Structure 1
Amino acid sequence: MNKQQLASKIWESANQMRSKIEANEYKDYILGFIFYKYLSDKLVRFAKSEDFTDQNLHDLSEDDPEIVEHIKSQIGYFIAYPHLFSTWIENKGDFDVSHVRDALSAFSRLIHPNHKRLFEGIFKTLETGLSKLGDTAARQTKAISDLIQLIKDIPMDGRQGYDVLGFIYEYLIGMFAANAGKKAGEFYTPHEVSVLMSEIIAHHLHDRDTIEIYDSTSGSGSLLLNIGRSIAKHMANQDNVKYYAQELKENTYNLTRMNLVMRGILPTNIVTRNADTLEDDWPFFDDRDPVNTYNPLYLDAVVSNPPYSQKWDPEHKENDARFSRFGLAPKSKADYAFLLHDLYHLKPNGIMAIVLPHGVLFRGGEEGEIRKNLIENDHLETIIGLPPNIFFGTGIPTIILVLRQRRAASDVLIVDASKGFAKEGKNNKLRASDIKKIADTVTARATVPGYSRLVPKTEVQENDYNLNIPRYVDSSEPAESWDLYASMFGGIPVSELDSLREFWDAFPGLRSALFTDNGTPYVEPQVPDLATATRDHTEVRAFVDRFAAALADFTPWLRGALLKPMLTLMIPRQEAVLSEALFARLEPLPLIDRYEAYQILDDHWQPIAIDLEIIQTEGFDACRVVEPILVEKTSKGVKAEVQDGWKGRILPFDLVQQVHHQAGLEALREKQTRLSEIAASIEETLESFSEEEKTNDTVNDEGDKFAAAAVAREAKTLQAEAKKSGKFDSESYEAKIIQVAAWLAEEKTLKAAIKKDAAALHLQTKDIIKGLSDEQVLELLERKWIAPFSEALHCLPGQRIEMLIGKLEALAEKYRITYADNAREIQQAETALAGMIEELDGNEFDLKGLAELKTLLAGN
């Protein structure tokens, strides 16, 4: 299974296994064991590279100090054979919770001195929390055994291994965060926000040879890692990125260290601290060697997602170099304290991005003074307003502030991205197209009406340094208006047609072809069917043809960009390459939203990237691999995985059948179609039965299904009677029962045939995949990767045309019925009702009431 499937499977199982343990707490156990497996597997790989055989691994023992010191000096730690994760798996029957306690205790003893800062105490949360996995040693052993079995299949080696491991780790962190309520914000920045910040930071740093990045409230470390990953796309050597992380909470700090170590980052490139960011700034020197380790820690990039509006202690900090230039944040809200801390640690040409609550843009007092100082000193570069409910555990509006230590300009780019998102459960989520649009706008410092604006400093000063986004960017939808004249007399206001100007600019002759223009501010449709007339207009047809021509060479280009170099292309960079090629082709076309196209690209790219990872790791022959489909079944209360057919590792069975076994597939579909027809006929016949007929034995007690055995018996009897006395009337109960019996018999035969044919086709497909030539594989990959993507892109012109048609029809319908028409209909209805009142009778008081109602209806 691919990494998404494996991650999802692990999450589902882990979520069931955690029982009553809080999600935010349980994450520390499963992530801790994943990290231990990583370290254990890494040691085994190193030992084997040193000519250890599987049998020699038994010699990994603390009793051999030479081996211990050698391995510690190479990888930073030592794990003896009994404590290896693989040994726990082998000794499944004899495994006990005490083995874990012994292993974690031994690990703490056997860290190389040079790696103490990296590994010391890293398993403390796991070690102290084992008792929470059960109230007895036996229950703890069972819980840990289940966890170990759950994660044992996560690959820990090779390029794909690191990708899979990192993906699963971040996936689990995100899922635990989503299920941890308010506690989630303590350690997790949603992946999409991390990616957005990463793209902005990476664009600023893309031409540097070596980079140092710092997260002052690192949480799980995912934000820091995403920044590093985006930067590394532009660098020849990913080992030239150095990571600094600081986190207050010990268990979360351990997550940071684990996450960084497992991504294959050099230990010398990982510098972490477990300390209070505001109270205990990064030390200028190592206490053990203050003279030779002096380091004021100025970095290329600083990122953070600090706790929002947290209380802090500003006392005695007025002389702190971090705050002395700009002022102290109020005691009740530390937002600006975190921001100033980050800004202080920037190099002169550095960049920072910080997530904060929306209130920092307009709150007064000490915060207003700090904001003024930042603006006057030209540090504030960009403000990005994010959608609400985008962070787990809080629905408050949030923003990203981008600041620079030195800028040549003084303006501020303000982006209102609050409307671009997809709803996902209780939260909103930035889509790939939303991220791309924000990042492009920020890097180009572009003004986009209703979305972004480059605001001069003078305007901010005039607004008393209030940066509330709606003051500068109006992203609200215009309220619907109703034209008084058109409401009374009909006609479509020209002013409302003018709102569709982008379409009239694209199709200059369409408006006059659809609407009359008599020189007044109102027009009428001059065609009976606006939709047909629009679709058939020559300019609209030419627009569709122009789009097709612009993308005519895109499919051949994609073959060259994806199929030919699939074994060597840089997967992380390839989506950007594809988007540039796509945008270049869309550039001259009107009406097409490039970000809609980008979303289509991203939706199709994600599964392509998974396939490419597998092919680059396992080789081209992975396309010819079939593997068992495993499903979980319960037998006598015991759950077990059993095989239920086969699937292609890369190539889907249904695609292979469409191309290489179309005859067999069509024959199977014909049988399935006939089966559906029979089912519909049987249902229709049952619906034609009277309630009395449904009480017969041929229908079940609920009256919603035929009883097959009873139908067969009665049909046999009825057929015998028909031979003697002649045929029954086709609409009679008897004739219907005979027909239903025939259908049921055919249905039974068809089901057996379909099952047999499907099984045969399934096995034939398995053999076809295994025997495909290279050319056939490439053809199938094109059909899987490129054809659906291309088809989706070619739907874009039609979608825009249908949008125009929908707006035109809505406008026509809006004023089709006038106020006068409504008034006449009401008057006619009232007159008719008044006439009916004459026919009513009642007591004295009823008649008086009816008379008054009649008077009112008459308008008196």
Structure 2
Amino acid sequence: MNKNQLAAKIWESANKMRSNIEANEYKDYILGFIFYKYLSEKEENWLLKRDYTPEDIKEYVNEDDPETVQSAQQSLGYFIAYEHMFSTWVKSGSDFSVDNVRVALSSFSRLISPSHKRVFEGIFNTLETGLSKLGKDTKSQTKAVRDLIHLINEIPMGSRKQDYDMLGFIYEFLIEKFASNAGKKAGEFYTPHEVSLLMSEIVADHLKDRNEIKIYDPTSGSGSLLINIGASAAKYMPDANRIRYYAQELKSNTYNLTRMNLVMRGIIPDNIVTRNADTLEEDWPYFDESDPAATYEPLYVDAVVSNPPYSLQWDPKGKENDPRYARYGVAPKSKADYAFLLHELYHLKPDGIMTIVLPHGVLFRGGEEGKIRTNLIENDNIEAIIGLPANIFYGTGIPTIIMVLRQKREDNNVLIIDASKGFEKVGKSNKLRACDIRKIVDTVTHKLTIDKYSRLVSKDEIRQNDYNLNIPRYVDSSEETETWDLYASMFGGVPEYELNRLADYWKVFPSLKDALFTMNHGYGKLKVSDIKGTIFDNVDVQKFIEDYKNKFSHFDETLEHELIDQAETVSTVKEKDEISSDLLSRFEDISLIDKYKAYEAFDKGYEEISGDLEIIQSEGMDCVKAVDPNMVLKKNKEVQEGWKGHILPFDLVQNNLLKDELDTISKQEERLQEIPSEYSTLLDELSEDDKETISEALNEENDAFVFKNFKKVIKVIDDQNLKDVLKKADQFNKEEKELKSSIKKANQELHLKTRDTIMSLSNEEVKQLLFIKWIQPITNAINELPNELLKDFASQIKNLSDKYKDTYEDIDQEIKNTEKELVKMLGDLTGDEADMAGIRQLQKMLGGD
């Protein structure tokens, strides 16, 4: 089971278990237990590496052994006795009680190392106080906790890197799922992964030449923004342990999520600095609170990233002299958006970068906010503004932006991006796709101006607009209004100015316009009936397709070498970046085709590839030849139902190595599907009297045979034709039964043969099948892009031609002909005198005599 399947299974089970408990609360319990399992197994692995046997752990790992306790505290920062370990709970069976958890959590708090209190102290408070909500009494609470423990036990948390990756993935997956069910409260603890990734990639590009960095989130929520920055920045660093994480969070239960998430991602405790405090009221201290001898030292970081609560009310009294706000102004009481922004900017190093999510209103609201915005612009702090799609955050549909800011910049212009139209619809929400994220990041990092998407705006232009940064003032992303040319509407033909809207195509295909249209006094008449065929046969189009193919002629070989030949050693994260850069660079001289569509195809394919590579790198290349029991849930119990490939899907193997067997079954299935029509043909040949005669051999509706009565009916009827009909139907029925039995048997045999085939694959066959599974879907999608482009272009040409195909004169004549026809039809009607008077008046109105 890969990480996606396991995460989905755990979510489905956990969601059922929570019963009437709100998603926002239940997340704290399940995530708390996951964290406890992580800490418990981390200690077990540490003990095993110190040559403890499982028997030693059971006998000696307790509070009576102060040497083990102190050693664990020094190395791990905490100590968990054997009786309180997660694995002990799992093995306890009927002896387990919810009180075991209460005692264990209390012991954990008592045995935290003094040096690690800021990381671990109070981290299980939410779980501990919430246990009573899991049931009305000890018995029901015990059952709820036991079910949760056995569910969570399925998550691997061993010493392998892949296990930690899976743990982090599942933790993030569950947080996102709980957020989607938590309504407005979701915004308190979760920023959608795609937005988090976008902000992280922008920050990481700016920091990629540094060996040591500090990153800070003053409204940290679950900590996902910090973690994503760290992961993105680590791609460019020789040592990920040179990243220091600072987090501040107001709500204590959410603050605990931050700490859990950071610890479980393998970040060393010395690099985790967190505070449970009000960011606006209590600025980050200028000294280490845990060290009385610490010196006065302001916190300045390389990057700040945040998604603060939107338009929060706050108390600005006495803040005029606060060094965070003194240079720029104080945000109004009703909206703390700029208070958060200025707090973050204050803590940024001169060469640092920050990204912050804000409501759209900060771009144009006046009053105190207008003054702050003016000062930010005049001090050249704003580097970019990214308008996001609506309805992209859980719990709110308001329009939002990402603002990118710096303390010191050489430029004084502002890059404004309208990315509001780049998304896919997922349920009720909008979601950024991989191609949307990549396009935004490229636009920001290279300061690109793209028609109807982005523009570098000078400070002078912003001044002229009275420091209003509303995106539509600078980037017009609206669709062109449909217009109708009066002359073309009257006389036909496509106006040349409308054809010129396709100028990009005519530039790349210079001979195509004349091949499609005859131009006369500025209007074009379509001169071919087969638009698509004319386009694809055009010499310039064929050259375009050929040039495109040449650009990607060896791309599949590159993917094969990098991903299949080096499957056991390749770094999936770094390799993705390298392949992406290679892919996008191939579009350098290619016009018309959107390179980000190719990137999206690659990203979707790579998601499955990286999941498979994690398994291969954990288990070795031979795992591709492995099969697993296919477990399904029946009557709330898991049972085996056949087999499935560990890496290779059965249908993939069958379609490529067992084609003959598959074709035989397909032919039988085709014949089986034909038999119902044979029954229908026989029934259609019967008259109503015939059906009455053989009524016992038919159902009540007389539209189906009842085969069990055939022998009795055949014995009592004399009509030989009817007997022949029934005998034919009976033959078809026997054939149908034989086919069903044969197909079932053949499918069973094919299933087992597929299992055996996978287990006996040669190394060359493994490479071949991985190529088909991994590489072909990506290259096929990329190779199809020119065809998609040209089909869309053909549709545009057809729509333009059809737009002016019927002139007003044609329509007018058609109306007149219809009226004449109607007058004639009315003349054939008869009725009494009143009716006929009405008909004559209607004929007169329609132009009749």
TM bin, normalised by shorter chain, reads over 0.9
Q: Is 1:791 paired with 2:790?
A: no
| 2:120 matches 1:119 | yes
- Counterpart Cα distance in 2 of 1:361 and 1:708: 77
* Distance of 2:656 and 2:836 partners within structure 1: 80
Of 421, 428, 439, the residue aligned with 1:419 is 421
In structure 2, the residue matched to 1:181 is 183
Q: Which consecutive unaligned segments of at least 5 residues does structure 2 have?
A: none
- Distance in structure 1 (CA, Å) of the matches to 2:44 and 2:688: 74
Do residues 856 (structure 1) and 845 (structure 2) align? yes
Cα distance, 1:142 vs structure 2: 1.1
User: Where do residues 426-575 of structure 1 align in structure 2 (5 Å cutoff)?
Assistant: 426-518=428-520, 520-575=521-576
After TM superposition, give the deviation of residue 734 of structure 1 in Å: 5.2
Per the TM alignment, residue 542 of structure 1 is displaced from its structure 2 partner at its CA by 2.5
Aligned-pair CA distance for 1:555: 1.4
Which amino acid in the other structure matches residue 784 of structure 1?
A: K
Distance 1:859 1:501 in 2: 50
| 1:404-438 Cα deviation digits (max 9, x unpaired) | 01001100000000000000000000000000000
Q: Distance in 2 between matches of 1:838 and 1:663?
A: 69
Is 1:611 equivalent to 2:586 in the alignment? no
Which stretch of the first structure deviates more once superposed, 493-502 or 276-285? Answer: 493-502
Gap change, CA 1:818 and 1:29, over 3 Å in 2 = same
2:623 corresponding residue in structure 1 = 622
Residue 678 of structure 1: aligned partner = 675
- Residue 504 of structure 1: how far off its partner (Å): 1.1
Q: Distance in 1 between matches of 2:276 and 2:638?
A: 43
C-alpha distance in 2, partners of 1:684/1:221? 68
Tell whether the 8 Å contact from 1:211 to 1:300 is kept in structure 2 after alignment: yes
Per the TM alignment, residue 844 of structure 1 is displaced from its structure 2 partner at its CA by 5.5
Q: 1:180 and 1:555 mapped to 2: Cα distance?
A: 44
Instruction: Tell me if 1:281 matches 2:279.
Output: no
Which shows bigger deviation, 446-455 or 139-148? 139-148
- Given residue 195 of structure 1, which amino acid in structure 2 is its aligned partner? L
Query: CA 1:716–1:434 in 2, change beyond 3 Å: closer, same or farther?
Result: farther
Structure 1 residues 714 and 530: alpha-carbon distance in aligned structure 2, compared to 1, 3 A threshold: farther
> Equivalent residue for 1:813?
802
- CA deviations on 1:96-142 (whole Å, 9 max, x unpaired) are 11111111111111111111110111111111111111111111111
1:824 paired to 2:813: yes
SS of 2:383 mapped into structure 1: strand
Which residue matches 1:837? 826
Report the AA paired with residue 677 of structure 1: E
Match of 2:711 in 1: 713
Distance, in Å, in 1 between the alignment partners of 2:820 and 2:753 is 76
Q: In 1, Cα distance between the equivalents of 2:259 and 2:578? A: 33
Once residues 686 and 30 of structure 1 are traced to their aligned partners in structure 2, the CA distance between those partners, rounded to angstroms, is: 61
Aligned length: 845
> What is aligned with 2:102?
101
Find the counterpart in structure 1 of residue 78 from structure 2. Answer: 77
Tell me whether 478-487 or 740-749 shows the greater mean CA deviation: 740-749
Q: What is residue 303 of structure 2 aligned with on the other side? A: 301
Separation in 1, partners of 2:432, 2:708: 57
Answering whether residue 649 of structure 2 is matched by residue 660 of structure 1, we say no
2:746 corresponds in structure 1 to 757
Give the CA deviation at 1:797.
Answer: 0.8
Aligned partners of 2:696 and 2:713 also within 8 Å? no
AA aligned opposite 2:481: A
- The amino acid that maps onto 1:128 is T
Alpha carbons 1:715, 1:741 under 8 Å: kept? no
CA contact (8 A) 2:714 2:726 kept: no
Counterpart selection for 2:331 from 329, 332, 344: 329
Structure 1 distance, partners of 2:472, 2:733, is 68
> Whole-Å Cα distance in 2 between the matches of residues 140 and 691 of structure 1?
69
Q: Does 1:596 align with 2:597?
A: yes
Quote the residue 1:137 is aligned against.
138
Q: 1:835/1:11 Cα in 2 relative to 1: closer, same or farther (>3 Å)?
A: same
Q: Using the alignment, how far apart are the partners of 1:541 and 1:558 within structure 2?
A: 26
Structure 1 match to 2:643: 646
Judged with a 3 Å threshold, the aligned counterparts in structure 2 of structure 1 residues 699 and 380 are, in CA distance, closer, same or farther, namely farther
Matches of 1:705 and 1:136 in 2, distance apart?
59
Q: Could you report, residue by residue, the CA deviation over 1:501-529 in whole angstroms, capped at 9, with x for unpaired residues?
A: 121111111110111123x1111111122
The answer (yes or no) to whether the contact 1:450–1:474 under 8 Å persists in 2 is yes
The one-letter code of the counterpart of 1:621 is: D
TM superposition shift of 1:833: 2.2
2:389 corresponding residue in structure 1: 387
Partner Cα distance (1:769, 1:130) in 2: 47
Query: Which amino acid is 1:235 matched to?
Result: M
Partner of 1:8: 8
Change (3 A) 1:838 1:781: closer
CA distance in 2: counterparts of 1:111 and 1:702, whole angstroms? 78
**Does structure 1 conserve the Cα–Cα contact (< 8 Å) formed by 2:217 and 2:304?**
yes
What's the secondary structure of 1:516's corresponding residue? Answer: strand
Contact 1:389–1:427 under 8 Å retained in 2: yes
- For each residue in 1:264-296, what CA deviation from the matched residue of structure 2 results, as whole angstroms up to 9, or x when unmatched? 000000011100010111111134534424331
User: Distance in 2 between the 1:22 and 1:466 partners?
Assistant: 42
* 1:582 shift after superposition: 1.5
Distance, in Å, in 2 between the alignment partners of 1:112 and 1:292 is: 20
Structure 1 residue 846: Cα displacement:
4.0
The one-letter amino acid of 1:137's match is T
Say yes or no: does 1:343 pair with 2:375. Answer: no
Asked whether the 8 Å contact 1:714–1:737 carries over to 2, the reply is: no
Equivalent-residue separation in structure 2 for 1:330 and 1:527 (angstroms): 66
Give the secondary-structure state (helix, strand or coil) at the position aligned to 2:54. Answer: coil
Q: Is the 8 A contact 2:697 2:713 kept in 1?
A: no
* Candidates 157, 171, 177, aligned match of 1:169: 171
Equivalent of 1:160 in 153, 159, 162: 162
Partner of 1:774: 763
Deviation by residue 1:464-523 (Cα, 9 ceiling, x = unmatched):
0000000000001101111111111111111111111121111111110111123x1111
2:645 and 2:309 map into 1 onto residues whose CA distance is 46
> 1:845 and 1:651, CA in 2 relative to 1: closer, same or farther beyond 3 A?
same
1:288 to 1:108, Cα distance in 2 relative to 1, 3 A:
closer
Shift of the 751–66 alpha-carbon distance from structure 1 to 2, 3 Å rule, reads same
TM-score by length of 2: 0.97
SS at 1:243 equivalent: strand
In structure 2, C-alpha distance between the alignment counterparts of 1:742 and 1:138, rounded to whole Å? 63
d(CA) in 1 for partners of 2:198, 2:472: 22
CA distance in 1, matches of 2:97, 2:684: 63
Which deviates further from its counterpart, 450-459 or 618-627? 618-627
State the alpha-carbon separation in 1 of the partners of residues 290 and 532 from structure 2. Answer: 79
SS, match of residue 524 in structure 1: strand
| Alignment deviations for residues 443-480 of structure 1 (CA, whole Å, 9 cap, x no partner) | 00010010000000000000000000000000011011
CA distance in 2 between partners of 1:238 and 1:704 (Å):
73
Cα root mean square deviation, aligned: 1.9
Structure 1 residues 704 and 579, CA gap change in structure 2 (3 angstroms): farther
Q: Give the letter for the 2:659 counterpart.
A: Q
* Structure 2: distance between partners of 1:700 and 1:614: 56
Decide whether the 8 Å contact of 2:219 with 2:249 is kept in 1: yes
Which segment is superposed worse, 247-256 or 497-506? 497-506
Which amino acid is the alignment partner of residue 295 of structure 1? E
CA distance in 1, matches of 2:190, 2:7: 18
Percent identity for Structure 1 against Structure 2: 56
Select between 688-697 and 181-190 the one with higher mean Cα deviation: 688-697
CA distance in 2, matches of 1:684, 1:250: 74
Q: Which amino acid aligns with 2:746?
A: D
Aligned 8 A contact 2:695 2:702 in 1: no
Change (3 A) 1:759 1:822: same
Match of 1:21 in 2: 21
Shift of 1:831: 2.3
1:17 maps to amino acid? M
